[in-house]
Structure 1
Amino acid sequence: MATELPFSQACENNKAPILERLLGIFITPGTVLEVGTGTGQHAVHFAKAMPHLQWQPSDHPSAADLCRPRLEQAAQPNILPVMELDVSDADWSIQSFTWAFSANTAHIMAWPEVEEMFRHIGECLAEDGAFCLYGPFNHQGRFSSDSNRQFDHYLKARAPHMGIRDLEDLCALADTVGLTLTDNHAMPANNRLLVFQRIPAD
């Protein structure tokens, strides 16, 4: 009898719209670091559609086992073994990558962890790479929808450190590590896909 794999309906709903955007960003061969692989649904879907990439799944040590059954079942040749990654660690075990992707993590992490994620990605991202961050975001302190407001209340009830982040705060954080918001794509269910890149000096 087949074992039922961990499953996220949100991942199932958003994987196709996200992939449509990533296909126009992750163009050249390279390694993608995924921060917060979760169930592995994104990793399997994206790696299969972009065979020119090496997909490096990662998750917090307490959650890294969640994606392993799906990744093992998929046996996708361009998916690397999942890496245990605490974004707050002083040193990451992966020192360089071309691209970075993370979905629905910034509102789960504490703000110091978001800062550390950006700092490490800023240090390790290729000069011509990009960091794509997916999720719900506020603009100038305002919620983009009633559903996002309700979601934020739900998050804060779960843990005070959680909450939907402001776009302006993320852009300011990116600026400190040499990254700039170059695209801000509207996505289904009041989410966005933010694309951060290095802008060459004139």
Structure 2
Amino acid sequence: MSKLPPNASVASQTEDGKLCAPSALRNAPVIVELLQQIAPPRGRALEIASGTGQHISALAAAIPQIDWYPTEIAVDRITSIDAYAAQAALDNLRPAQLLDASVQGWAASHIPYDLIYLGNLLHLISAEAAATVLLEAASTLAPQGHFVIYGPFKRDGILSSDGDAKFDAELRAANSEIGYKDDQWIKQVLTGAGLDASLVQNMPANNLALIAKRKPL
């Protein structure tokens, strides 16, 4: 993981092995509502960078017709994800798997997914790593599957709030290779990978959800 400022990813440890991020508590309901609207009637869903596990446990509970596959790069977060899964006791929530989604070629070992969710990662990695994440994810998306990317972004190259400008500056001061990615750049990468990346939805706290779809065969 890239060097980050202290406020980039805040999570506290609980006695039962779970990590709790206040931001995940706040934004989980709107993310669940969004994915409920586009989830297929059945299928497989991948979450890239599942973090604490709060999002995917909520998604698996709210969208039971989908089998959910969490992944993470950090071992302590794998432990937390599995602790949330054990508490939820859901048949459609699979054990967390280690995955560095910024490494080229990982998609080749994955069966296509009908839904892929990626939240709050791209501003924490370099543009090169972000492009790899997007391209690999796109290549493992099933025909007519959806790829949902949530988080803070530049909009047409502009940081649209003082809070975003401050956070982006803090990220770049900690590591000059990271920081907010532009929504138009993400659309360009996904379009180049054969996806229809035309839908953008405003989310709370000045975040965006970028929704792309694999074209039918």
Q: Please indicate the TM-score interval, normalised by the length of the shorter structure.
A: over 0.9
1:71 paired residue number: 85
- Structure 1 counterpart of 2:27: 14
Question: Which has the larger displacement, 54-63 or 11-20?
Answer: 54-63
Q: Is 1:133 the counterpart of 2:149 in the alignment?
A: yes
The answer as to 2:166 corresponding to 1:150 is: yes
How far apart in 1 are the matches of 2:72 and 2:175?
A: 19
Counterpart of 1:191?
207
SS for the counterpart of 1:193 is strand
CA deviation string 1:92-126 (max 9, x = no partner): 43231111001101111222221111211221101
Q: Which residue of 1 aligns with 2:105?
A: 90
- Residue 18 of structure 1, CA deviation: 1.1
Query: Where do residues 33-52 of structure 1 align in structure 2 (5 Å cutoff)?
Result: 33-52=46-65
Give 3-state SS (helix, strand or coil) of 2:122's partner. Answer: coil
Between 72-81 and 165-174, report the one with greater CA deviation: 72-81
Give the SS at the match of 1:134.
strand
Cα deviation 1:21-56 (Å, max 9, x = unaligned): 111101321111000000000011110011000000
Q: Rate the CA distance shift 1:199–1:182 in 2: closer, same or farther, 3 A.
A: farther
TM-score by length of 1: 0.92
Please state which structure has a larger fraction of its residues in helix.
2
Quote the residue 2:182 is aligned against: 166
Could you tell me the percent identity over the aligned residues? 28
Moved over 4 A (4+): none
Is the partner of 1:107 in helix, strand or coil?
helix
Deviations 1:54-104 (A, max 9, x none): 000001155433422222222221101111111114234323111100110
Task: Name the counterpart of 1:28.
Answer: 41
How many residues end up aligned between the 2 structures? 201
Q: 2:94 aligns with which of 62, 67, 80?
A: 80
Q: Cα–Cα, structure 1 residues 52 and 195, in superposed 2: closer, same or farther, change >3 Å?
A: same
Matched letter for residue 151 of structure 2: G
Provide TM-score, normalisation by structure 2. 0.86
Give the Å deviation of 1:2.
Answer: 5.2
How far is 1:4 from its partner? 5.8
Structure 1 residue 185 displacement after superposition? 0.7
SS at match of 1:23: helix
The letter of the residue matching 2:123 is: H
Q: 1:187 to 1:39 in 2, by over 3 A?
A: same
CA positional deviation for 1:143 = 0.6
Where do 5+ consecutive residues of structure 1 fail to align? none
The one-letter code sitting in structure 2 at the alignment partner of 1:46 is L
What amino acid is the match of 1:73?
Q
1:74 counterpart letter in structure 2: A
Give the residue type in structure 2 aligned to 1:90: G
